[in-house]
Amino acid sequence: MLEAAEAHSAAQGWPQAKYMALGGCWVVRKHEIEYLNSAMTGDDIMIRTWVSNLERVTSERRYEMIRMTDGKTLAKAATLWAWINTKNGRPARIPAEIASSFAVIA
């Protein structure tokens, strides 16, 4: 899930280094995972991810893990991320330039 989130973020123009240059970073507040079907060694799995909610200091990202051979959803998940000021380690308002870079899909 972390790799999918980082790849999606970078594709939107926000690699990790750019966040750090702004003096902030994302940290996980909560993960929820619902396992629906088993994956087997060798399965090709696609992970879909999107931002489902964006508030003042938090962002919720959702995920679906799908087996490519039969299209079955293996798991659904959500992560609540918090934007943290790296200088003081405290939650901070998500900068407008970040928030405007991500479509929110409920």
| DSSP codes, 8-50 | HHHHTT--HHHHHHTTEEEEEEEEEEEE-S---TT--EEEEEE
Cα atoms found within 13 Å of the Cα of residue 37, Cβ hemisphere only: 14
Please state the pTM of the whole predicted model: 0.91
Q: So what's the pLDDT on residue 15?
A: 96
Per the structure block, which two tokens stand in for 89?
A: 């380690």
Confidence of residue 96 (pLDDT cuts 50, 70, 90): very high
Tens of pLDDT along 17-38?
A: 999 999 999 999 999 999 999 9
The CATH architecture that domain 2-99 belongs to is Roll (3.10)
Confidence of residue 104 (pLDDT cuts 50, 70, 90): very high
Tens of pLDDT along 40-87?
A: 999 999 999 999 999 999 999 999 999 999 999 999 999 999 999 999
